[in-house]
Structure 1
Amino acid sequence: MRKIMTSVIAGIGLALACGTSVRAQEKELTIFWAEWDPANYLQELVNDYTAETGVKVTVQTTPWPDFQTKAFTEFNAHGDAYDLVVGDSQWLGAGSTQGHYVDLTDFFNKHKLNDVMAPATIKYYAEYPGGSGKYWAIPLEGDAIGWSYRKDWFEDPKEKEAFKAKYGYDLAVPTTYAQLRDIAEFFHRPDQKRYGVAIYTDNSYDAMAMGVESAIFSYGGDLGDYATYKVDGITNSKQAAAGLDMYKQLYKFTPPGWGKTFFVEDNQAITGGLAAMSMNFFAFFPPLVNKATNPYADVTGFFANPAGPDGKRFAALGGQGISVISYSKNKDEAMKFLEWFIKDETQKKWAELGGYTCSQAVLKSEAFQNATPYNKAFYDTMFMVKDFWATPEYAEVLDQLNQNIYPFVVGGKGTAQEALDKTAADWKATFTKYNRYK
């Protein structure tokens, strides 16, 4: 009898244990993001969460060109296909005001994330409106515009001698846009299939805008007053026009056929031995230090965006925060996931896997800054970043900027001032249409 009862009790225990396991496995979360390496790193990271909790987490991706359209199609339909989204910083306006994102202000304050995450990532990835103290995302993937370059070209004694003879100063990593332009001109030798620089020119989404605004910001310009929506005299200021004109000058020293380029092409400018310097977001630099993907890995260096003529130094912010989607049926579970994600040990693991953590403690650590040849430049950059408009009509104003600057930079039509005058007029009309002026 005891043997029978023992067996029965053991069977009940096993059934209960299996039932608990099954119930845990039934809990699932889906995170939506763009298709790129950091999304793969995130999937590897969240596998640890599944191992710890039994909750399956899937990082679902789509190509970059389709990312915004697919996300907002689902949002506008109030669909529950995704529980969380790693959305662009510029989505904060639409995500918050149109009811797509869950308000994370209480979560933010409870965990004192203002003291945990880098200030710029809070300002641009999490808070909307600016200065409101309302938070809609947790900074996840920090990113910004940076540069790679061919160290062997820069350090060649003959090149150094020739450069100094022509420009009157030593050839070195550029600290100003003027130096960047000189170096691009110096190495631009089409007859040798060697070119000066690779920059972003794709205007189908935000690539070209990010490259241009890095120059505009560093030249002392701005895109407008994000609080009042004032654009006249700001968007089209002389400083902004000078920054745009510098970007146009750099375009003259790009490889042939460089009229529709983004991160793939700019990395290929280095791996293919084409250019002396190449612009890209830091998140795309890992392949450049891998000998399997870059034959010049040992002679590839990195630097932060240079300063403008008055010493101002900024870089366009990339990166994303992670938000809970208000239409999800798993919001409570999503909040538990965020509590796990912000832990120090999780942030350290995220950085080790290749993710660009926004944790101040991890960013400042020697271990992080020495982990790759570009991490120190990334750290420096994250404290000098500025971002594009995050207004709900972001997609419209981005398209207007693209339509105005592309013919000037790539097509050589008109002037920088004319392109920005048209942009200011377009933006004023758009903001008037949406009743932004009160």
Structure 2
Amino acid sequence: MRQRIVRLALVGGVIVLAMLLLLATCGGGDGGGKEADDSPSRPAGRSASGPTTRLDVPPEYTTGRGWEVVAAGPGYALSHPTGRLAYLVKAPGDRYRLRTLDTETGRAGWSGEAWRPQDPGRVPGLLTVAKDDQEFFVTWSFGKAGDGLAPSGTFVSLDVYEVTGGERRRVEVPWSGVPAVTVTGPDILISDSGAGGALVDPVEGGVTRIPATAVTYPKGCASCRQLTEVRGQTPKGLLLSGVREFWVRGGWFSRNGAPKGADPTTGVPTSVAPGLILAKWRLAKGAKRSGTHQMWAVHDAATGRSTVSVECHTPAIEPGAYPQAVLSPSGRYLVAGNLAFDLEERKGFCFEEEDGSARLTLASVTDGGSAYGSTRARDADEALRGEGGGPVGMSFTTGEVEALAPNTRLPEAEISGTGIFRWTDREDRPHLLGYPRVG
């Protein structure tokens, strides 16, 4: 009798072990790690004790709660009205899948069907665009044409997903040359550093071509005809610039919206964000500091008028790339390199040393008026990777900069009171983490 009981116990143990193995292969919760199949979305890594990975972060955030996704793609997109985050994961057969999660809870949202980009060797781009009170996540890739088009042709392929439900629309635009795909306005803009481009309507999927020959120039602006380039989309139309000065075709002209104290014929847009343009200007001729300083101004994209400005030393060497403007979720604060602007209070800050060298590079900013960056970093990406000098925090309330602990990882963005952080482990797997703000 005892022998029979032992046998039953062994059989029961085998059954339990098999069930555990089945659950281990089918369940999970690594939020997008290596996949052996083409299964639907898995939840992000969450537990009562918080994410497994505990980074050194600014004291405003806690690592005791939050969520973690392993092996997410290098890019992500945010929807602030819904609190959703979208990210890409690899799927079998050189394919990718778009997944979403709720940034406040870490719970998995909808997951799109797997698809193959035009160039499997490059991770697709990922953006967020809003039009007609609707929001969309957009993935895009560029490469040779597929069925039905000339084998030698290339095109931009876009998948447009409705943010809340995940309904997808595919749009393919024949395109030659390396494209830039941006969303500074209500449409998706495809451009190539020239005067032409194409606009894709995210709601209807329609494509509007803008040939370079259709460009019109402001009267009396000779510099507008040199190195003419599409820079973005505004509520009033496409934003264009020349070697100096910028304008909206059929709309406003930068010369009429120059900041006070600037030479109105010298404006150069350096970065475009939804609804806003960051531009640099020479000081007016005869100004006391015209030989050593230049003016940076934030312009309303709808009118072209300057809303706030600040003076900084002119760099000894013109930078190869200008700082990218980064907005807080509400749009009140803007940071770019060593510049910071409170758009509501109309205050501008320039953080530089006495000799004019940049004191720091700011890379992210929150609605609470906290900005984060690094000293001696060449750009925002370097600061977020923890390279360059030491990490710092800046307060818009006081205008002061405070050094953070040397190993502090900076938040790339904040949404729904959650800071978004990145980290790569020793196995070269990227981790995407959400740590809540304290209080």
TM-score strictly above 0.5 = no
Q: So what's the TM-score if we normalise by structure 1? A: 0.30
Greater strand content: 2
Relative to its length, the structure with more helix (as a share) is 1
